Amino acid sequence: MRRRPFAELPRWELLTVLGIVAVALLLRVWNLGQNLPLVYNIDESARFVPDAAGFFSQRLGYRELVNPPGMMGLLGIVDQAWFRPQGMSPSEALARDPGEAYLLGRIVVALLSVAAVPVLYAAARRLVGRTAALVAAGLLAVAFLPVAYSRVALADGPTLLFVALGLLGAAWLLQDDPARRRGLVLAGIAVGLSAGFKYNAGIVVLAPIAALVLRTPQTGWPHAIRRGVLMGAVGVVAFVVSNPYVLIDPHEVWRAIEYQANWSKSGRYVGEPMTNGFAFYTWAAGWGVGWAPLVAAVLGAALLAWRRWRIAVVLLPLVAGYLLVMGPQDRFFARWLLPIVPVLAIAAGVAVGEVVGLLRRRPRTVRVALAAVLALGLGAQSFAHSAHSAHVVGRDDTRTVARGWMEDHIAPLSGVVIESMSPGSWMPTFDGRGDWFSLNRWSRYQTIPAVQRRDAREHPQLRIKAGFSSWVRILYPELIDEFERYGYCWVVTGSYQAGRAGRTPGLVPEAGRYYRELTRRADLVWQVSPFSPDAGRKRLPYGPTTAPVKYQIDRQATTYELAYERPGPMVSVYRLRGGRCAAPDPVVPNAPWG
């Protein structure tokens, strides 16, 4: 008779695992409904929840498939099960109450992310032992990047679960009786779902392949090849289930992959001062997982290579291969590190286990106390930042505060220039209805076609569509003349854009000139900062490209800094003085829209 899972665990160990899971759950659901129905994360707003609402009624194109549709399909199923009994289609529910739809998506992501913690523990316990497994589970529970990206409806959190399942499958393949198939089935499913939720996470396939190769002295190559083929078949089925578009429209899937690859190689990202991907991901691991865990992981990897080379062969190529693929890219983001975080956590756990093992002749209580102290020390940095972020995001975002001030102080239909600092859904309506999707309260300046036609030769950046990541590229000082000529007298800047120009001025020199001209020709009327008054140097009021904490896209998007007292960018409202703006209440005339 087979024993039940975890039946062989000592009671204290099982309670410890449950406690770690409880901490992971708390950090992920605390203030999970932050700022809803407004969704300020641009990826969350644009992709998975909206695409899930129409997943079974609309066909995705290559731009949607840039993110594999596994997450969209899963949320589509959940939406059907939740909203259909209420008499609504998912699309109707999203339009009627977007807050509920997004909260449902976040709950699914948080729960799947929490499930990764005990699965990683089970995999690590088989591979490297109890102490290392408990430390690895604890790190995954509190590490900042896994926590932060398990609180938004994106695919990153669930991908952690599938990577952990792939490592568990590899452990079974390495240690089970060769006749058992659970390892290859689990590994195949995990690899297929990893790639179906996050293309680059499919690199977890290296772990089960290594396990199969390591078993060849006992099983022989023909047996390993047969099992590898079966695992591959299971993986293909799982990938097709999670990404049916590889059969429905393989051309669009290939276009999406090609588009993503070209985008990643399309030049340095404005606002990111680092130019080396390997250095960037090392730095990102230092704050996203913790500097102490990173050092411990390096030590643990070396110890594995020296003393337990078979386990090293299973785990370490995954990290090396991933960095070799992602490091040379032109663009990099901290959350792209997430597929290898489970391995880093295991390696850090190995280091703790080896240190505790040096005291094997000491009483058990001493060893347990040392392991606990080391584990708490490794997780302290991330826990502090994760708990602080989960707490402060429950407060109103600065964009919500700014919107309220604008409603009170800027008359409807006034001409305003609002930098791209979030999805347009934060704008209110003129009559107060449907405030999560309207752009119609004020006359908002966009890049006027006539201005584009006239100035594009001299200012080629005007040919660029002013999206979230490219807004500062279209700026140049003479635009302020256009604002004053046509009566767009209120200029609202945000550190998510101006901060980019301030951090990488060499990439957008015209934007720097624009902001200097703005401060010369306009009065700063109002400003809201997300940071504590005690943060940074005291240079109040701050200019558009300065802030008490330096801009960094990943750390600001996740409210990482302990200096935060609410989420969002620093928002500044300027009032121009020249041209039509010399009048107290200028009327926006018919601007030359083309």
> Which carries the bigger pLDDT value, residue 166 or residue 508?
166
- Residues 250, 182 share a domain: yes
For residues 555-582, average pLDDT: 92
For residue 185, what pLDDT is reported? 95
H or E element in which residue 418 lies: strand 415-418
In tens, the pLDDT along 454-481 reads 666 776 666 666 566 677 888 889 889 8
pLDDT band at 269 (very low <50, low <70, confident <90, very high): confident
How far apart (Å, rounded) are the C-alpha atoms in residues 447 and 454? 12
568: alpha, beta or left, given left = phi > 0 and alpha = psi -120 to 50?
Answer: left
d(CA 446, CA 38): 22
Q: Based on the fold, state whether residues 376 and 488 are members of the same structural domain.
A: no
- Compute, in degrees rounded to 10, the torsion defined by CA atoms 333, 339, 345, 347: -110
DSSP-assigned letter for residue 564:
B
Same domain, 38 and 156: yes
Give domain status of residue 591, yes or no.
no
Per the domain annotation, does 268 fall within a domain?
A: yes
| 500 and 374 belong to one structural domain | no
The answer on 415 and 362 residing in a single domain is no
- Cβ contacts of 309 within 8 Å, gap of 6 or more: none
Burial class (CB in 10 A: 0-12, 13-18, 19+), 542: buried
**124 and 177 housed in the same domain:** yes
136 and 62 together in one domain? yes
Q: Give the mean pLDDT of 495-519.
A: 88
**Cα distance between residue 316 and residue 309, in whole Å:** 10
Residues 143 and 249 in one domain: yes
Higher pLDDT: 323 or 583? It is: 323
Q: Of 392, 417, 445, which residue constitutes the final position of a domain?
A: 392
* Range in 128-137, 294-303, 428-437 with the lowest mean pLDDT: 428-437
| Percentage with pLDDT > 70 across the chain | 90
The reply to whether 6 falls in a domain is no
Is residue 587 situated within a structural domain? no
Between 205-209, 241-245, 410-414, 587-591, the lowest mean confidence (pLDDT) is in 587-591
Residues 439 and 386 grouped into a single domain: no
Quick one: pLDDT at residue 430? 38
As a whole number of angstroms, the distance between CA 200 and CA 156 comes to: 11
Residues 210 and 315 in one domain: yes
- pLDDT reported for residue 592: 41
Choosing from 392, 424, 455, the residue where a domain stops is 392
Domain boundary among 351, 372, 392: 392
Looking at residue 245, its amino acid is Y
Task: Give me the number of domains the chain comprises.
Answer: 2
Kindly report the average pLDDT of the chain as a whole number: 87
What is the tens place of the pLDDT at every residue in 71-109? 999 999 999 999 999 999 998 888 888 889 999 999 999
Q: Do residues 282 and 329 share a domain?
A: yes
The whole domain housing 313 covers 11-392
